[in-house]
């Protein structure tokens, strides 16, 4: 058994002939926040999507190597992709609420997993919205359309939606990049809170954000994992010249 919550071992990923991830080995401990940084197209989003098998949606993707969740390979035959996604939640770059009520957005994950107990659903919706720091703002208008919320609220709703199915890992793909600075700060605060209960992997273009929220940081470049270390080390004392250049803004 490995002691990592999630990890990849020697993962290669190809889009057709494009070698998008090159032999990436990386492990994330439980209740850690790991930030993925790197220039656009470096493969960090692709890497993130390995953990909930979101890359399966794309044609012509070939994946080699092992992706482990709790020590089990999630790509092995016999592991249902829906089960993986229940354990590994995801928050996307652009807030993507369903055009349904606030309540139904959060409840959706429960419903597709066959839960119909009304009381349980109501309790879970409330708990998830509280965890996502949205409850106070929406508790009186749960029946309103989620599309009426502001961008920042929508994103917290999407976080609540992800939390409702009680995942143990949360993937975040630039969750704050489409938001205003205030909403951005709220999301970061939230990550601090969520960290107590969840393992979080976050892709970000924002260096300060990576430095503020993460315990460890991984720097990707052209599909390779260049450096992976404690966030402090990466930012104060990078081992590789490329990392140094990137975080100081000399390229990227």
Does 44 help bind other proteins (rule: CB under 8 A)?
A: no
Element (H or E) spanning 113, and its range?
Answer: none
Residue appearing with tokens 């052209």 = 222
Single out the segment in contact with other proteins by CB under 8 A; choices: 40-48, 51-59, 123-131, 223-231.
Answer: 51-59
195/168 Cα distance (integer angstroms):
10
252/249 Cα distance (integer angstroms):
7
Specify the residue, 38 or 167, whose C-beta has the smaller distance to other proteins.
167
Does 108 help bind other proteins (rule: CB under 8 A)?
A: yes
Single out the segment in contact with other proteins by CB under 8 A; choices: 3-11, 17-25, 154-162, 212-220.
Answer: 154-162
Element (H or E) spanning 229, and its range?
Answer: strand 224-230
- CB contact at 8 A, 211 and 231: yes
Residue appearing with tokens 């793909």 = 173
Which pair of tokens denotes residue 76?
A: 């092995």
Does 86 help bind other proteins (rule: CB under 8 A)?
A: yes
Single out the segment in contact with other proteins by CB under 8 A; choices: 5-13, 105-113, 180-188, 222-230.
Answer: 105-113
Number of residues that bind other proteins (CB under 8 A): 25
Does 85 help bind other proteins (rule: CB under 8 A)?
A: yes
Does 154 help bind other proteins (rule: CB under 8 A)?
A: no
Q: CA dist 204 to 26, 39, 213, 233, Å?
A: 17, 10, 11, 18
Does 148 help bind other proteins (rule: CB under 8 A)?
A: no
With 0-12 / 13-18 / 19 or more C-beta atoms within 10 angstroms meaning exposed / middle / buried, residue 191 is: buried
Candidates 1, 57, 77, 182; binder of other proteins (CB under 8 A) is 57
Residue appearing with tokens 């509280």 = 130
Candidates 165, 201, 202, 225; binder of other proteins (CB under 8 A) is 165
Does 38 help bind other proteins (rule: CB under 8 A)?
A: no
184/208 Cα distance (integer angstroms):
12
Specify the residue, 89 or 238, whose C-beta has the smaller distance to other proteins.
89
212/63 Cα distance (integer angstroms):
32
84/52 Cα distance (integer angstroms):
6
Does 158 help bind other proteins (rule: CB under 8 A)?
A: yes
Candidates 18, 72, 112, 248; binder of other proteins (CB under 8 A) is 112
Binding site for other proteins (CB under 8 A): 52, 54, 57, 59, 82-83, 85-86, 89-90, 92, 94, 96-99, 108-109, 112-113, 158, 161-162, 164-165
């Amino acid at each position: 058994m490995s002691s990592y919550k999630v990890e990849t071992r020697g993962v290669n990923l190809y889009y057709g002939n494009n070698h998008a991830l090159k032999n990436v080995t990386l492990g994330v401990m439980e209740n850690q926040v790991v930030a993925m940084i790197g220039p656009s197209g470096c493969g960090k989003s692709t890497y993130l999507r390995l953990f909930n098998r979101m890359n399966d949606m794309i044609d012509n993707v070939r994946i080699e190597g092992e992706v482990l969740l709790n020590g089990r390979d999630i790509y092995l035959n016999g592991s249902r992709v829906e089960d993986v996604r229940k354990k590994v939640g995801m928050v996307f770059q652009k807030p993507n609420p369903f055009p349904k009520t606030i309540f139904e957005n959060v409840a959706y994950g429960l419903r597709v997993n066959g839960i119909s107990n009304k009381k349980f659903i109501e309790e879970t919706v409330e708990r998830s919205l509280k965890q996502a720091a949205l409850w106070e703002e929406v508790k009186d208008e749960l029946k309103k359309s989620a599309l009426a919320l502001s961008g920042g609220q929508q994103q917290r709703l999407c976080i609540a939606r992800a939390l409702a199915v009680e995942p143990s890992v949360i993937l975040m793909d630039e969750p704050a990049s489409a938001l205003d600075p205030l909403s951005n700060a709220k999301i970061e605060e939230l990550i601090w809170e969520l960290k107590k209960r969840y393992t979080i992997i976050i892709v970000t273009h924002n260096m300060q954000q990576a430095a503020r929220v993460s315990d460890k940081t991984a720097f990707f470049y052209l599909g390779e994992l260049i450096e992976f270390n404690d966030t402090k080390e990466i930012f104060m004392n990078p081992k590789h010249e490329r990392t140094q250049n990137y975080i100081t803004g000399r390229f990227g």
